[in-house]
Structure 1
């Protein structure tokens, strides 16, 4: 039988195989797709109680032919053709690595991963609520834990959720838990101590990934340099025989590989438990199984809490780490030569563990630091229901005693327009206006609070409740508005900086309260923005700078500085082409403020040097 189908580029073509492929000798059936000289082989996967199927993601427009292999003696091969049409609006294709530090969609559009972890949020009972929350959030990637013996209803729910996320442009990273001991099929770990037994007084799952605290000891070479570890310890796989485990991994990869928004991550178990370990050679084999059953080359990594893990295997596309120290992101990127994502850098929350009880400011600061160190970091939230937590997260800025008034005070001091009048004011940031459950009001810019129960976003999904998500939306907007090709700039050794020489600079100060910053930039004129990362305001200074410049700052934590060349942004920046008369009027207005710091006549060599 020869049938022609139509399918959009980078979308899913699904084919149910005829009944004769149910025979044991044909369970390894594959479908060969051809277009010109190109050949793509898609493996079949079984559906419990149903007909075997294959899924294919055409990545090139035009006509493809296909033929099913593994036909019993006397049977006729199933064959046909499909017409791949142009992608619809919003369909940019799968995400790929672009260079040593970046990502991009298949159509060339830059991709900046702003992910979150929601281990069990796409299980059947949670999926609808979690997907609804993700579509209203700033996150363009979600990490989900999947066990190898997941039951068919759970896999079907996961498929539906991944398809829904794909339509919304949200990537889904599948954490393939090799241990797989949970009866429901989604992995569940038990917190363990250094000696392998459960720690007394501890409860399951209080660390961000439900595993142990990270091992602090790192290896070194005799010369004192870092040693890339060639072996990693893994925990037992919950009773699956090696052959059965490999077969289930093959089936899982074949089932989900055709979704353009899927990423893969092997998730090692608790390191060192019971002395059980798997060699690097076995890990290579697991990576190979995924690659052989994913002909599209989706992003693939190993999630590790050891920065010195060897990520050099060619199958590994990027580095995924669990680390609470984003200041080392640039060092990790230099060490491994691949993009770095701190997928678990801690959780905004109130859980009884150090990295699961961060205030929102620290969560946001870690993500800003990773970005301005040339990498990325993921969001985590473990806010457990309770009156104390609700009170703590009631007002923005409540944990530091700082609010938008500080930005207004600084604006008055330098004579600039208030942040509310700037191009990226609080009024223009991402909003999520849906009300909270049970009549509760959600925090500004946050997703509605869930109904009461012993749940949190990191493990159960449902709804994002913390303050960090709105601030992450603000950062994402800044980064996506920046020119492409930014690099980490180690020459600014005392503040994390990314930029492009003579064009763009984004510098983050974290907890440091600098009173001013001095720069010596290439020839040209520059517009300067003071960014309050917590209150989500951008204050554009009223003068343009050039050459050697000194920029006054509000001496508050969690601020950033953005410097943009007017030549590179001609016509895009309001005030970039202002007349000399208007520029002088702006300067006079600024100097009329009593707190304005004068130039060299009153302050010697310091002041607003560099402003024009």
Structure 2
């Protein structure tokens, strides 16, 4: 009897999986295939499956509706004449913690598929999932305590300053070069002499290591339980193993495998690359080909981006759902959100606005106060800032790459900002150009490109006014709150009418929130 394993019930937006046993002769990763067709009253989805090792083949599906479903599995690894495998299952209501995939709404902003607001408070931990079990557990705990709801990390291991050790696993069968002599002192000489990165490595780029990917899936699942989006960096240039120099055919095989394994997780985002422009072996045609594979093979249309070092990719490309930006100017970061929104017409996610820390590199040694300032300024301009931290330590465990325990100060204050953003009417803020030249003001973004006229959030950054004079109209009363973004306090004032003064403590990082009296939180 054919051994088919699947559950008869799954919750909406969870992973439904069909498992089959099949041939192991030859190379199952390339010689055989498995595909699934999943049909309910409101959707009809086709999905590629994958080989999971030990003769096991799997195909996955993420249902977006409740109700009765059928599936039909076709494959090429069973005996000739085997009929397609059929089955039925029921999709129940979503778990309370699962609001579905994040989507773009209102042009510049995000929400979950069920309509719940989503304001990205993200962080970067490039290879946290490739560390020890103990360190991974610390990272998950830190993420939950900090209130982060997105994390960027790599599928491939990473080779760079402060990250010279071997990962817990590799994505392919084979053995790596001997890096036992590699130290921080000789890192630069070693990197300069790499030349052909394949030299010394012995990988079979047609045979994946399923345990590597299964472990990443476990981490994606754990993130999802905590309400955290997994922003997967699929390719990057920081490599001593040869993964950045695979052939076109090897790259395409990798992309198809990654999509088949990860796409059914509701909390996945696709980042084609971290710093795509530092991969000289890859052309724009290559990146466009990878994008076409995602668009064709991901039936759930997860968010898609590509991240720069120096030169921006053309974020107006139709396949790009949002801008993933690294600053291009030494001082200005969040200040340019207005410009980027206008230029690209999409959500602006500042995935690298420099990191809190004290390492030698300028991208990793700003203060916690400056990091928080950039967060507030970006948010009020209608953007979505991202965090990381790089503090020197005896064990060389830096959050930016390894995760673990957070050491900085800015992360303690992001949840406060997030709560304020959730209280904003509608979906997202936009910069209010009619405010004073010496202040930043965000107002709710309306679908008709007209802001709500009775909700304002002002921010004074590093400036320290002792009072501000405000005037909106002579008719309505306005409730005013003075917000200390660093000390996380909200002091009610008012109500006020006409022209009025608001006293301030004369210190940096203060904000003023103004709401027309009687305004509902969900007014549009």
TM-score scaled to structure 2, two decimals?
0.81
1:464: how far off?
1.0
| Contact map agreement 2:233 2:274 (CA 8 A) in 1 | no
SS in 1 for 2:75: coil
Counterpart of 1:255 in structure 2 is 261
Question: Match for 1:304 among 292, 308, 311?
Answer: 308
Counterpart of 1:395 in structure 2 is none
Counterpart of 2:64 in structure 1 is 59
Counterpart of 1:552 in structure 2 is 503
In structure 1, runs of 5+ residues without a counterpart are 184-235, 386-451, 573-612
1:338: how far off?
0.3
1:87: how far off?
0.8
Superposed CA offset, 1:571-609 (max 9, x none): x9xxxxxxxxxxxxxxxxxxxxxxxxxxxxxxxxxxxxx
| Contact map agreement 1:4 1:83 (CA 8 A) in 2 | no
SS in 2 for 1:136: helix
Superposed CA offset, 1:250-278 (max 9, x none): 101110111101111011557367xx353
Counterpart of 2:218 in structure 1 is 160
Superposed CA offset, 1:33-90 (max 9, x none): 1224732111111223341211110011111111112346311211111211111212
Which of the two has greater strand per residue?
Answer: 2
1:517 is the counterpart of 2:524: no
1:155: how far off?
2.1
| Contact map agreement 1:93 1:107 (CA 8 A) in 2 | yes
1:135 is the counterpart of 2:77: no
Superposed CA offset, 1:360-388 (max 9, x none): 10010011110011111001100122xxx
Query: Quick one: structure 1 residues 153 and 26, their matched pair in 2 at CA, closer, same or farther if it must change by over 3 Å?
Result: closer
Superposed CA offset, 1:274-295 (max 9, x none): xx35332321110111222211
Work out the CA distance in 1 between the residues paired with 2:217 and 2:98. Answer: 18
Question: Match for 2:85 among 78, 82, 99?
Answer: 78
Work out the CA distance in 2 between the residues paired with 1:92 and 1:527. Answer: 32
Counterpart of 1:530 in structure 2 is 482
Question: Match for 1:343 among 351, 369, 378?
Answer: 351
**Alignment map for 1:207-286 (pairs within 5 Å):** 237-269=243-275, 271=277, 276=280, 278-286=282-290
1:181: how far off?
3.2
CA RMSD of aligned residues (A): 2.4
1:478: how far off?
1.2
Question: Match for 2:421 among 462, 468, 479?
Answer: 479
Work out the CA distance in 1 between the residues paired with 2:300 and 2:36. Answer: 14
| Contact map agreement 1:44 1:52 (CA 8 A) in 2 | yes
1:537: how far off?
1.1
> Once superposed, which parts of structure 1, at least 4 consecutive aligned residues long, lie more than 6 Å away?
1-4
Work out the CA distance in 2 between the residues paired with 1:320 and 1:110. Answer: 20
Work out the CA distance in 1 between the residues paired with 2:107 and 2:156. Answer: 31
Counterpart of 2:16 in structure 1 is 13
Which has the greater radius of gyration?
1
Query: Quick one: structure 1 residues 322 and 454, their matched pair in 2 at CA, closer, same or farther if it must change by over 3 Å?
Result: same
| Contact map agreement 1:307 1:332 (CA 8 A) in 2 | no
1:465: how far off?
1.4
1:330: how far off?
1.4
| Contact map agreement 2:271 2:306 (CA 8 A) in 1 | yes
Question: Match for 1:295 among 281, 292, 299?
Answer: 299
Work out the CA distance in 1 between the residues paired with 2:518 and 2:462. Answer: 32
Work out the CA distance in 2 between the residues paired with 1:136 and 1:79. Answer: 44
1:545: how far off?
1.0
Counterpart of 1:123 in structure 2 is 130
Work out the CA distance in 2 between the residues paired with 1:287 and 1:66. Answer: 28
Work out the CA distance in 2 between the residues paired with 1:287 and 1:551. Answer: 51
| Contact map agreement 2:151 2:228 (CA 8 A) in 1 | yes
1:335: how far off?
0.7
1:87 is the counterpart of 2:94: yes
Q: How many positions carry a matched residue from both structures?
A: 450
Superposed CA offset, 1:232-262 (max 9, x none): xxxx854422101110111011101111011
1:306: how far off?
4.6
Superposed CA offset, 1:322-354 (max 9, x none): 115110011101110000010111111011112
Counterpart of 1:425 in structure 2 is none
Work out the CA distance in 2 between the residues paired with 1:309 and 1:238. Answer: 19
1:359 is the counterpart of 2:367: yes
Superposed CA offset, 1:158-180 (max 9, x none): 11111111111111100111547
1:564 is the counterpart of 2:512: no
1:22: how far off?
7.2
Larger displacement relative to structure 2 (478-487 or 553-562): 478-487
Work out the CA distance in 2 between the residues paired with 1:546 and 1:266. Answer: 51
Work out the CA distance in 1 between the residues paired with 2:322 and 2:276. Answer: 21
Question: Match for 2:431 among 488, 493, 504?
Answer: 488
Query: Quick one: structure 1 residues 123 and 278, their matched pair in 2 at CA, closer, same or farther if it must change by over 3 Å?
Result: closer
1:369 is the counterpart of 2:377: yes
Work out the CA distance in 2 between the residues paired with 1:504 and 1:321. Answer: 28
Query: Quick one: structure 1 residues 259 and 182, their matched pair in 2 at CA, closer, same or farther if it must change by over 3 Å?
Result: farther
SS in 1 for 2:211: helix
1:457 is the counterpart of 2:404: no
